[in-house]
Amino acid sequence: MHRKRVVLGVAVAAAAATVLAACSSSGGSSSTSTNSSTAKVTLSWWNNANTQPLLGVFQNVIKQFEAAHPNVTIQNVPMQNELFKTKITPALRGNAPPDIYQQWGSGQQATQVQSGKVADISSEVSSWISSLGTPATEWQTNGKWYGVPYDLHVVGFWYRKDLFQQAGITAAPTTIPQLESDDAKLRAHGIQPIGLGSKDGWPDAFWWEYFAIRECSQSTITSAMSSVNLSAACFTKASADLDAFVKTNPFQTGFLATPAQSVPNSSVGMLANGKVAMELQGDWEPAAGSGLTSDKNFDDQLGWFPFPAVPGGAGDPKAVLGGGDGYSCTTAAAEPACAQFLQFLTTPAVEKQIIGAGAGLPANPAANGDLSVPAEKDAAAANSAAPYIAEYFDTALPTTPGQNLDNAVAKWFASPDASGSGITSSVTTP
Amino acid sequence: MMTAITAATPARARGGRRRSSNWTIMPATYLVSIVILGLTVVPLLYVFLDGAKSTAQISANSTALPNPWVWSNYGQILSSAAFWEFLGNSALIAAVATGLAVGLGSMAAFALSRYVFRGREAIYTLFICGLLFPLQIAALPLFLQLQLMGLLDNQFGVALPEAAFSLPITILILRPFMRAIPGDLEDAAMVDGASRLRFFAQILLPMCKPALVTVGLLAFVTSWNQFLLPLLVFSTQSHFTLPLGVSTFQSTYSSNTAVVLAFTALAAVPALAAFLWGQRYLVAGASGAVKG
Amino acid sequence: MTRSTAADAGLTGPGAADDIAVPGPGAVRRGGRYRRRRKLRKGTELTILLGPGLVLFLGFVLAPIAIGAYYSLYNWDGLGPLTNFTGLHNYKIAFNDPAFVSAIEHTLILTGLSLAIQGPIALGIALLLNRKFPGRTAMRLVIFAPYVLPPAVTAVMWSLLLQPGGLVDQVMKAAGLGGLVQLWLANLHIVLYSVFAVLTWQYLGFGIILLLAGLQGIPAELKEAAAIDGATAWQTTRQITLPLLGPTIRIWVFITVIGSLQVFDVIWLMTQGGPAGASDSMATYMYRTGFQNEAFSYGTAIAIIMFLFCFAFALVYQRFALRRDTRGALTRAVG
């Protein structure tokens, strides 16, 4: 009897609570759809800065903005990156998406624009957006602005100066053959040359994409991304180059199962602990690695050099692969408050705080000098001087072909072949 | 063989007989126990020990003992209000989900095991079908539905679907157990004037304790470790459950693995405690009612 | 009385419940109105017993699944409007994709291994743990503990243990088995079996607990009676315990097969189904090519295919195996 009463009691309580909950729903964004810039507005802000130091920086930034715009309240909703990515799609599908949310531009943005929930802010940003330069154009879709970047990323080689010295390497390699001979020197001294977080797929993609950028001209790359087609001959050549390079055994043992970041046995962890000498990665590498080592000098041991030139390639040896982080406003968000906040994030003073937290390179070139890690400055300089920046293919392409490409490259690394047909055909697979 | 000789001993010498038949069993039991202990405990010990290192230590050498012992990981977690918030949320949701699943599940299993009615097997099959789908297929529609019902960012938005998804396995396990209770008991109860519902509550359920504890533990652990549902439902960090709470120690490019492991070691404690409490009922409860 | 098996003795065993509803000797049959009242009462009782569970289940499980299944007939990325009806196109693509076909193979391998290896081990351990011995509670706790760990942590932990030079390698070298060391997670041919080992570690405890619960339902008197009749422990086990444990074992098989067909968490978090899909199960394939790629309709189509696998098994199993548990007489008196 006692059990039955308990069971019934719980059931009744649950039913009652459901009714109550339905009546007093909570959560979700609550912005008024007024256009006046003096009425009270609240903006919910979904970002991936869920840990220090960027979390604290953003909280400060919110305070500063609210002080300058007393009628605006910003509700910070930080979320770990993978959680955020899982949540944003259903949220855009539902009827209460966040007002401001993070997105990475280009093809991914185009896919999201289809939901009809992303706001076209071209008129609100036209007066100042050009000061951010060419990289910001990744946040245009069909010529209209749907987002604004707040930091940029570039991919290059991060290497340990101490290990290079040990192996007797005096200068960073500038061509692939030089890189291969440096690898041999490192191996001769018992050092694993290059770390690769192949388990996650996207680090593999960096390799293939850089060979593609070195083999293909800029116009080939641009048209390939927009037409979602990798049939040009230079892409096959890129696969052949990569195949020849992989055959020189440059990566660490068991690289197929090594994750890229976060965990101690990741490739960046290995770089941080001196178990590999270099890694082809984005500018987040110092931040990602410093938590995994007790070596306080890690940042200073790092050097940076751009992806070497490929002899005979049609691509510019100074072109870089990169991307960035940005934010978009949804259609329910109050304007011009939303666009003003996005602009605020790109002002030099705020950019300084953001890059101080190790988020990446500033979206506003005026803040380039504020980078703290020496190697980062090299990366930023290469980024600013690059004739063009190719965005990571999986972001430049719409989401499905982009992910297919990453998967295909990862699969290729498990059993490399010179034709790379599995890779080039992956973007057109239905 | 010992047992053959002693088998002839009359019942009164039961104690002696049992002792000698254990000669061959006990060493085997202990040997197996030790092997299992090793295979199970050592990795578990890892979670605990690595939680007492710094992530840098784990990176450098994952198998060494902590040096120095970084108790601050555990300290930091136990003293953070967020951890207890997560714990409370998880506990509340798990309690509701388990209570509902076991309560409604046992009622349904009783109906499906001891009543005869048209459509009984069809309804049973319907429940079992719920087991046959992966949760991900329901994720997006469920999210939209919960949004419509206003259950987002709300504990019941998680507890109710969790209970619903635990129903099939609860019913699957309970139904044969309930069937096995002899009909005489039910008849006897009815002769004494009790309704079938009272028989259910006062006689059948207590007899099914081991099975009830089993399904309760399953529902509890499933809810405790549930990740996808709370992720979809909760946006506000203060509503997070423990598995989501881990993400507060992980960021885009890095993850404080040592703290994550410490966090997990601590988060597993309530579930283990629930098991400790429940496993008493897995002890032999002879179906005493069958005796004359 | 001595019988060769408990089942023959007609003693307590799972039997048909069909007879229970018939009133026993005590009730007096009355006509018309009495019978209607009884019918109404039975209906009411059934509504109370089944109603809430059914409502909860239909509302939160079947409805979303049905809606989700509907999406699989379109080509939809979860964001735009639902306009591109493609019928069974997604299903055709799936079966033509060699990656999916090998995912099916892997899943079937894992299922078979689970039955063949986890079953006997769990049974043996449960039998051993069913007797009283000092430290039994602690043993049970230890065995169940892996099941309690969230899959995320199991994955992280075993990734660390299985990395080149990790604890597993070190222990093997120390035990003189250094020659057998492999790249557990990087070797395409081995990774599936490494994953299976981790899955066993995590889920064995569940099987043991389930079987223990079943063992508790076997009256001790039966074993005592058998022992008095001169049966050895092995004979008792084989001819009394195991048959009576039959229903529980059959449930374990059902849950294990369904669970193996849907296995996701540990594999995804440890290897993402890699490297290069070498450890893909149907569910990890579904998640990667469907939901992660935002090819939502495709992912749902894969989920439907998984359901069909499970459904086919459930149908066959219900017909041939579980049906046994509904047959057989239910005696009304003992001894």
Q: State the SS3 of A102-166.
A: EECCHHHHHHHHCCCCECCCHHHHCCCHHHHCHHHHHHEECCEECCEEEEEEEEEEEEEHHHHHH
Residues A275 and A409 in one domain: yes
Residue percentage of chain A with pLDDT more than 70 = 91
Q: What's the CA gap between A402 and A400, in Å, rounded?
A: 5
In the block, tokens 């953003």 appear at A58
Q: What's the CA gap between A1 and C196, in Å, rounded?
A: 45
Q: How many domains does chain A have?
A: 2
In a domain, A75, yes or no: yes
Which chain A residues contact residue B54 at CB under 8 A?
294
In the block, tokens 């001891």 appear at B114
Asked whether the beta carbons of A33 and A62 are under 8 A apart, the reply is: no
The answer to whether residue B92 scores a pLDDT higher than 90 is: yes
Q: Which pLDDT score is estimated for C294?
A: 74
Q: Is C48 helix (H, G, I), strand (E, B) or coil?
A: helix
Q: Which of A369-383, B46-60, C14-28 has the lowest mean pLDDT?
A: C14-28
Residues A310 and A348 in one domain: no
Residues A351 and A309 in one domain: no
Q: Which pLDDT score is estimated for B292?
A: 27
- Using CA coordinates, name the residue in chain B closest to A269: B59
Over the stretch A339-352, which tens digit does the pLDDT of each residue have? 999 999 999 999 99
The answer to whether residue C3 scores a pLDDT higher than 60 is: no
Q: Which pLDDT score is estimated for A9?
A: 37
- Residue range B158-175: average pLDDT? 92
What is the pLDDT confidence band of residue A110, given thresholds at 50, 70 and 90?
Answer: confident
Asked whether the beta carbons of A198 and A259 are under 8 A apart, the reply is: no
Q: Which pLDDT score is estimated for C29?
A: 57
Q: Which pLDDT score is estimated for C280?
A: 93
The distance of C296 to chain A (nearest Cα, Å) reads: 10
Q: Which pLDDT score is estimated for C163?
A: 83
Q: How many domains does chain C have?
A: 1
- Residue range C143-168: average pLDDT? 83
- Residue range C278-291: average pLDDT? 88
The answer to whether residue C64 scores a pLDDT higher than 90 is: no
> Longest Cα pair distance anywhere in chain B, in angstroms?
73
Q: Could you tell me how many residues make up chain A?
A: 430
In a domain, C27, yes or no: no
- Residue range B48-67: average pLDDT? 79
Question: What DSSP line would sit under C52-118, residue for residue?
Answer: HHHHHHIIIIIHHHHHHHHHTTB---SSS-S--B-TTHHHHHHHH-HHHHHHHHHHHHHHHHIIIII
Over the stretch A37-54, which tens digit does the pLDDT of each residue have? 578 899 999 998 888 788
Residues A68 and A132 in one domain: yes
CATH number of residue C298's parent domain: 1.10.3720.10
Asked whether the beta carbons of A116 and A110 are under 8 A apart, the reply is: no
In a domain, A8, yes or no: no
ipTM field: 0.79
Q: Which pLDDT score is estimated for C30?
A: 61
Residues A224 and A267 in one domain: yes
Q: What angle do CA C15, C19, C20 make, to 5 degrees?
A: 90
Residues A317 and A330 in one domain: no
Q: What's the CA gap between A103 and A115, in Å, rounded?
A: 14
Q: What's the CA gap between A383 and A378, in Å, rounded?
A: 9
Task: Name the residue with higher pLDDT: C329 or A277.
Answer: A277
CATH number of residue A235's parent domain: 3.40.190.10
Phi, psi dihedral angles at A303 (to 5 degrees)? -125, 165
In a domain, C215, yes or no: yes
Which partners does chain C have (≥3 C-beta pairs < 8 Å)?
Answer: A, B
In a domain, C225, yes or no: yes
Asked whether the beta carbons of A306 and A73 are under 8 A apart, the reply is: no
Q: For chain C, which residues lie within 8 Å of any Cβ of chain A, measuring from their own Cβ?
A: 52, 77-80, 89, 93, 156, 159-160, 163-164, 166, 183-186, 188, 191, 271-272, 274-278, 288-289, 292-295
Q: For chain A, which residues lie within 8 Å of any Cβ of chain C, measuring from their own Cβ?
A: 11, 89-90, 92-93, 111-112, 114-116, 198-201, 253-259, 263-265, 399-400, 403-404, 407, 410-415, 430
In a domain, A382, yes or no: no
Residues A160 and A262 in one domain: yes
Say if the Cβ atoms of B247 and A80 lie within 8 Å.
yes
What is the pLDDT confidence band of residue A34, given thresholds at 50, 70 and 90?
Answer: very low
Residues A277 and A341 in one domain: no
Residues A160 and A273 in one domain: yes
What is the pLDDT confidence band of residue A210, given thresholds at 50, 70 and 90?
Answer: very high
Instruction: Please give the structure tokens belonging to residue C276.
Output: 């290069």
In a domain, A363, yes or no: yes
Angle of helix C32-57 relative to helix B81-114, nearest 10 degrees, comes to 150
- Residue range B155-173: average pLDDT? 93
The answer to whether residue A8 scores a pLDDT higher than 60 is: no
Q: How many CB pairs under 8 A join A and B?
A: 153
- Name the residue facing A294 among B56, B144, B202 (closest C-beta): B56
Question: What DSSP line would sit under A29-64, residue for residue?
Answer: --------SSS-EEEEEEES--STTHHHHHHHHHHH
Task: Name the residue with higher pLDDT: A270 or B11.
Answer: A270
Say if the Cβ atoms of C272 and A200 lie within 8 Å.
yes
In a domain, A28, yes or no: no
Residues A133 and A163 in one domain: no
Mean pLDDT score across all residues of chain C = 79
The answer to whether residue C5 scores a pLDDT higher than 70 is: no
What is the pLDDT confidence band of residue A80, given thresholds at 50, 70 and 90?
Answer: confident
Please, where are the H alpha helices in A321-363? 337-346, 348-356
In a domain, A7, yes or no: no
Supply the range of the domain harboring residue C115.
94-326
Question: What DSSP line would sit under C263-317, residue for residue?
Answer: --HHHHHHHTT-STTTT--HHHHHIIIIIITT-HHHHHHHHHHHHHHHHHHHHHH
Mean pLDDT score across all residues of chain A = 86
The answer to whether residue C250 scores a pLDDT higher than 80 is: yes
What is the pLDDT confidence band of residue B62, given thresholds at 50, 70 and 90?
Answer: low
Instruction: Please give the structure tokens belonging to residue C308.
Output: 């069909």
Supply the range of the domain harboring residue A292.
155-321+395-428
What is the pLDDT confidence band of residue A308, given thresholds at 50, 70 and 90?
Answer: very high
Instruction: Please give the structure tokens belonging to residue A256.
Output: 């197929």
Q: What's the CA gap between B110 and B181, in Å, rounded?
A: 11
C170 touches chain B (CB under 8 A): yes
In a domain, A250, yes or no: yes
- Residue range C236-260: average pLDDT? 87
Q: Which pLDDT score is estimated for B19?
A: 44
Task: Name the residue with higher pLDDT: C135 or B82.
Answer: B82
Over the stretch C34-47, which tens digit does the pLDDT of each residue have? 778 878 888 888 88
Q: How far is CA B37 from CA B32, B256, C170, C291, in A?
A: 8, 29, 19, 39
Q: What's the CA gap between C280 and C101, in Å, rounded?
A: 10
Q: Which of A361-365, B219-223, B255-259, C198-202 has the lowest mean pLDDT?
A: B255-259
Q: What's the CA gap between A218 and A221, in Å, rounded?
A: 5
- Name the residue facing C17 among B11, B42, B114 (closest C-beta): B114
- Using CA coordinates, name the residue in chain A closest to C163: A265
Q: Is A226 helix (H, G, I), strand (E, B) or coil?
A: helix
Q: What's the CA gap between C139 and C136, in Å, rounded?
A: 5
In a domain, C85, yes or no: no
Q: Which pLDDT score is estimated for C78?
A: 63
- Residue range A341-370: average pLDDT? 88
In a domain, A57, yes or no: yes
Question: What DSSP line would sit under B141-153, residue for residue?
Answer: HHHHHHHHTT-TT
- Residue range C191-200: average pLDDT? 94
The distance of A397 to chain C (nearest Cα, Å) reads: 12
The distance of B249 to chain C (nearest Cα, Å) reads: 14
Q: Which residues pair with A389 in a beta bridge?
A: A320
- CA end-to-end distance (rounded Å), chain C: 8
What is the pLDDT confidence band of residue A22, given thresholds at 50, 70 and 90?
Answer: very low
Q: What's the CA gap between A70 and A87, in Å, rounded?
A: 30
* Dihedral of the alpha carbons of C202, C206, C207, C211, in degrees to the nearest 10: 160
Q: Which of A98-102, B232-236, C228-232 has the lowest mean pLDDT?
A: C228-232
Q: What's the CA gap between B65 and A50, in Å, rounded?
A: 31
